[in-house]
Structure 1
Amino acid sequence: MLNTNQPLIPQRADPFIHKHSDGYYYFTASVPAYDGIELRRSTTLEGLAEAQSLMVWKKPDSGAYSELIWAPEIHFNQGAWYVYFAAAPSREIKDELFQHRMYAIKTEAANPLQGDWQFCGQIDTGMDTFCLDATTFTHKGALYYLWAQKGPGIRGNSNLYIAEMDTPTRIKGQPVMLTKPELDWEIRGFWVNEGPAVIKGHGRVFISYSASATDENYCLGLLWADENADLLDPASWTKSDQPVFQTHSELKMFGPGHNSFTQGENGEDILVYHARQYTQIEGDPLWNPDRHTFIKTIEWDKDGMPDFGRPGQP
């Protein structure tokens, strides 16, 4: 099931799977209409494919967060469920970018599919620019916020930033930039670093991220730092000079990216990502619904680095 080129869930981009202590896997992703936040759950990864989905939050008809609901992630932080997502006031493009900002909703229900979700408002980074793709993680007792944002005076759509959190919906201190699009494989079509995801192993903290345009050029890069380093110091991080996961034309797996990580039923590390299975896209790729959710097992090499392999293969 894991190591094939068959989608786990069709037409779900930016997929995120959280394995919780209650024995359930929780899944969310961008839906093709970009009109709300959908959740489903199952006791197995494979079961997510047939699990009933529920729209737990719908966008309002107008206002700052009334369009293009992108890249939701569900996290259990400090005793409550949060979904972090990006939204825009319209579909208008200004200065070559959409107008997304980052938001969160919250429920304290044990089962988030049955929760009364409350809108928490915008998560302010101190920079009033295009931003999206927030994730959170806890390390050595501290909660961190990690996201993509347009940097003032920096060429491109987005860089990756990190900050410690004061609460699950408020950062403290100044954002720290960890990486910007600069290598040739990060600037194909668009100059992009986005979609960060965190996995830990072998004494290190790893951040995968997506780069370039969201067509067949889309791919994953990797940052890593020692687990005892200051994660807010850019000098703590090393950046791979090559993509770690990219198009596999032979198996018709194109533009793999915007990943998350989870664990299999036996504790193995699992890569969750989206990809298309053809390249001839009519019109704007943004409105093409055929970015499907796939999963595969990640191995670790002799140097303690994650080996992503190739999409569609073990």
Structure 2
Amino acid sequence: MTEKILNPIVLQRADPFIHKHTDGYYYFTGSYPLFDRLVLRRAKTLNELHDAEEVTIWWKHETGPLSELIWAPELHRIDGKWYIYFAAAPDRNIDDNTFNHRMYVIENESDNPLEGTWTEKGEIKTGMSTFALDATTFNHKGEQYYVWAQQDLEIRGHSNLYIAKMKNPWTLLTQPVMLTKPELPWEIKGYWVNEGPAFLAKGEKVFITFSGSSTGVDYCMGILTADADGDLLDPNSWSKSQEPVFRSAPENEQYGPGHNSFTESEDGKDTILVYHSRNYTELVGEPLFDPNRQARAQKVEWDDKGNPIFGKPLPDDRWTPKTTKIVE
């Protein structure tokens, strides 16, 4: 590490994602609290992201399937182009906890994703016409994979995790394979969800972290582990943690940590966990519209068996808002 990470790294951006690019910049995106746009910012260090200029690169449509609840964007570089994967819905049926999201992707050929033209490449079709969100993608041994959360009406719960290979950045090549469903006590508090997958590879192992339960104090992270040489499309290749690997830390005033991603330190020597959490539990109104899930980051340790150790969410170093006002 080159300097202490000061948290939060970005205010009021849930579902944070950071891409550290070969140009020396960290590119940051996350869910904007009004859920009406896609935003990006960049900086040379993690700490400088806090005050970096933010650029709106895409707005929701006036009507139709891309017109509401723009959630959980991720920025990826694939074959020399930029892609942002995100979820969108045609409506806001939140009173009865009904969400109608599908997954979409946009493309930009510019070297700098804050510039150039973003082109809509359409919906990522999974073959299932149900609630779907939180897509991520990764390349492993020359194959591009897609992992996401989706509901199966035959399985109790709101979303399971699926994996498939990709034909191109907007098309799946193989049929979806379910890797995990919410079933353990820590995955089913409030909502029954497995969501927010993030891929991590180190040595002879690969990992997919994910989040479970509702997005308040019970929200927490689990992990799937597989052999790096195994068949990642075979559910039997993966083992699932029976307990959370990252959860609320009341002693540090951090609650509901999750929906994470991974990046690396400025010197490239350390793995960095990026996640969101709140520093209070008394929410006013619908939790979805409380804007104060702050984007945070901290170093990942490793045990002698090559498994990541996430520890606890660290206390705040910086001021954080506790009102419903959105920080620009």
* Structure 1 residue aligned with 2:267: 266
Equivalent-residue separation in structure 2 for 1:235 and 1:130 (angstroms): 25
CA RMSD of aligned residues (A): 1.4
Q: 2: CA distance between counterparts of 1:2 and 1:255?
A: 23
CA contact (8 A) 1:2 1:297 kept: no
Q: Which residue of 2 aligns with 1:76?
A: 77
Q: 2:25 and 2:97 mapped to 1: Cα distance?
A: 41
Corresponding residue SS for 2:19: strand
Q: Deviation per CA, 1:205-243, whole angstroms, max 9, x where unpaired?
A: 100000000000000000010000000000000001000
TM-score (norm 1): 0.97
- 1:279 maps to which of 264, 278, 281: 281
Q: How far apart are 1:152 and its partner, in Å? A: 3.0
Any idea what SS the aligned residue of 1:185 has? helix
Q: Is the 8 A contact 1:223 1:237 kept in 2?
A: yes
Cα contact 1:3–1:312 (8 A) shared by 2: no
- Alpha-carbon distance between aligned partners in 2 of 1:139 and 1:148, rounded to the nearest angstrom: 20
What secondary structure does 1:114 align onto? coil
Aligned to 2:54: 53
User: What's the counterpart of residue 127 of structure 1?
Assistant: 128
Residues 93, 99 of structure 1: 8 Å contact kept: no
Distance of 1:94 and 1:64 partners within structure 2: 19
Q: Deviations over 1:232-260 (max 9, x none)?
A: 00000000100000000011100000000
Instruction: Give the drift of 1:299.
Output: 0.6
The residue that corresponds to 1:180 in the other structure is 181
Q: Which moved more, 1:174-183 or 1:89-98?
A: 89-98
Q: Tell me the matched-pair count.
A: 313
Report if the CA contact (8 A) 2:5-2:46 is conserved: no
**Is the 8 Å Cα contact of residues 2 and 296 (structure 1) preserved in structure 2?**
no
Residue type matched to 1:275 in 2?
S
Distance 1:94 1:88 in 2: 15
- Residue of structure 1 equivalent to 2:23: 22
2:98 is aligned with 1:97:
yes
Q: CA deviation at 1:284?
A: 1.1
Cα distance between partner residues in 1 of 2:4 and 2:212: 24
Q: Which amino acid aligns with 1:270?
A: I
User: 1:16·1:28 contact (CA, 8 Å) conserved in 2?
Assistant: yes
Question: Which structure 2 residues correspond to residues 148-167 of structure 1 after superposition, within 5 A?
Answer: 148-167=149-168
Please tell me whether the aligned partners of residues 56 and 117 of structure 1 are also in contact (alpha carbons under 8 angstroms): yes
2:46 and 2:262 map into 1 onto residues whose CA distance is: 12
Deviations 1:96-126 (A, max 9, x none): 4300000001000000101200011100000
4+ residue stretches of structure 1 with deviation over 3 A? 1-4, 93-96
Percent identity of paired positions between Structure 1 and Structure 2: 55
The correspondence for 2:291, drawn from 279, 285, 289, is: 289
Distance 1:143 1:184, change over 3 A: same
Letter aligned with residue 58 of structure 1: W
1:95–1:287 CA distance, 2 compared to 1 (3 A): closer
Deviation at 1:79, TM superposition (A): 1.5
> Which ranges in structure 1 are unaligned for 5 or more consecutive residues?
none
CA apart distance, 1:3: 5.6
- Measured after TM superposition, the shift of residue 93 of structure 1 is 4.7
**Aligned residue number for residue 302 of structure 1:** 304
Return the alpha-carbon distance in structure 2 between the equivalents of residues 175 and 65 of structure 1.
23
Distance 1:266 1:206, change over 3 A: same
Say whether the 8 Å CA contact 1:2–1:295 is kept in structure 2. Answer: no
- 2:114 alignment partner, SS class: helix
C-alpha displacement of 1:151: 1.4
How do 1:183-222 and structure 2 match up within 5 A? 183-222=184-223
Q: Secondary structure at the match of 1:57?
A: strand
CA distance in 2, matches of 1:292, 1:177: 30
